[in-house]
Amino acid sequence: MSERIFSGVQPTGNLHLGNYLGAIRNWVKLQNDYDCLFCVVDLHAITVWQDPAMLRTSTREVAAAMIAAGVDPEKHIIFNQSQVPGHAELAWIFNCVARMGWLGRMTQFKEKAGKDKENASVGLFAYPNLMAADILLYKGTHVPVGEDQKQHLELARDIAQKFNNDYGVDLFPVPEPLILGTATRVMSLKDGSKKMSKSDPSDLSRINMTDDADTIQRKIKKAKTDPDHLPESVQGLDGRPEARNLLGIYAALADVSIESAVNEFAGQQFSALKDRLSDVAVANLAPMQDAYRRLLNDKGQIDAYLAHGAERARAIAGPVLREVQDVVGFLHVGKS
């Protein structure tokens, strides 16, 4: 059976280095080995309130970032979820396959709903069923996942198996996680123990996709450090979150292992690392940022890419959905 990757990314505005090194860059690598669908999940986004104009802008931004980073929109399929109705249709069927108890155990729901569960949207509770539908609508076999999405993928596997069992078919593959050794968890430049985030009030805490060279240099210069020299070994990074973060970012951008990054700066001052990191960051990010800005200035072009991707996605999804409907017993004209 052929291998197909499905991956989704939320349309959050203000993309930064964490989004790039943590997700987008890995997709660029995967596209050589798999047929890929990369989906901007706008249906997932509205499980919490989204301003409509911002949602549209963010959808374009994420698509532009993927393309600017090097995902090929002709070889692979880039689209936004709402343009393929099959996601919502299959999700409904999965709402009837998944059990309340399964969803009640999802840690992301508990975190996002917070104390006021009564006031969370029904969609937020059913979120993982939609995610299962995303993957299985294309009979996806592999899903690149970070730590935070492992539990959701587990649920997608359970849904695939229960559906196959309940109906006595072998329709859905049980999708496998693809754990990426290369994914880098990028932390705040102001606090090495917090994830780099678009919602951090301090803009100095992150490197945005739209920062120019001067801004990148300034932010790296001002990044938090600790008073010691850089360690001689990877173990020496324990308890030193800022050193770990800056060396980790350097290693990722320079495409070297963390060991070799540690060796390169062993015993040196932070300033030596920061100088090198600035150069590497600017050299790596500048071409991508140019492409990103150019694309964002041409909304028609992005929208055309997304429409083309959606058309190809629908062509794969249609027959799968028809197969599912037949198995479930939905009647349609021409069915015996």
Choose among 91, 96, 113, 92: nearest CA to 104: 113
Work out the end-to-end distance of the chain between its first and last CA atoms, rounded to an integer number of angstroms. Answer: 29
198 is catalytic: yes
Contacts of 94 (CB under 8 A, 6+ apart): 129, 130, 132, 133, 136, 159, 163
Interacting positions 26-85 with ligand TRP (CB under 6 A): 41, 44
- The one among 4, 6, 21, 42 contacting ligand TRP by CB under 6 A: 6
What's the number of CA atoms in the CB half-sphere (13 Å) around residue 270? 15
User: What residues does 39 pair with on adjacent strands?
Assistant: 8, 79
Indicate whether 134 belongs to the interface with ligand TRP (CB under 6 A).
Answer: yes
- The one among 12, 47, 149, 284 contacting ligand TRP by CB under 6 A: 149
Whole-number Å distance between alpha carbons of 181 and 199: 27
Catalytic position from the list 29, 150, 190, 195: 195
Indicate whether 173 belongs to the interface with ligand TRP (CB under 6 A).
Answer: no
SS3 333: coil
Whole-number Å distance between alpha carbons of 127 and 106: 10
Choose among 323, 205, 231, 213: nearest CA to 278: 213
* Contact mark string toward ligand TRP, 175..214, x via CB under 6 A: ----------------------------------------
Catalytic position from the list 29, 115, 198, 274: 198
112 is catalytic: yes
195 is catalytic: yes
Q: Which stretch binds ligand TRP (CB under 6 A): 3-11, 52-60, 63-71, 317-325?
A: 3-11
Catalytic position from the list 112, 219, 224, 274: 112
Interacting positions 150-169 with ligand TRP (CB under 6 A): 152
Q: Which stretch binds ligand TRP (CB under 6 A): 7-15, 66-74, 187-195, 198-206?
A: 7-15
Question: Is residue 171 a contact partner of residue 150, using CB atoms and an 8 Å limit?
Answer: no
CB of 335 to ligand TRP, least distance (A): 30
Indicate whether 143 belongs to the interface with ligand TRP (CB under 6 A).
Answer: yes
DSSP single-letter state for residue 13:
S
The residue type of 19 is N
**Which of the residues are catalytic?**
112, 195, 198
Binding site for ligand TRP (CB under 6 A): 6-8, 10, 41, 44, 131, 134-135, 143, 149, 152
